[in-house]
Amino acid sequence: MSDRNEFDFESRIQDRQSFQGKFWRFVKYLSTRKIECWGFFLAGYILSAIF
């Protein structure tokens, strides 16, 4: 039973690390683009969250 819990814990850590890696790759991608490409999307997302 403890082997199963250890496996689940390790897989969650790997999933989180892969998510963080994907997130930072996406941020790096956005930093190479002009703000006009993604700024309007971000502004729309913020306004939709407010309303």
Per-residue confidence (pLDDT) for residue 41, from 0 to 100 = 85
Confidence band of 48 (pLDDT split at 50, 70, 90): very high
Per-residue confidence (pLDDT) for residue 1, from 0 to 100 = 47
Q: Of 49, 42, 43, which is closest to residue 26 (Cα–Cα)?
A: 42
What pTM value is reported for the model? 0.45
What's the DSSP call for residue 33? S
Tokens of 30: 């956005």
Spatial separation of the C-alpha atoms in residues 22 and 3, rounded to whole Å = 28
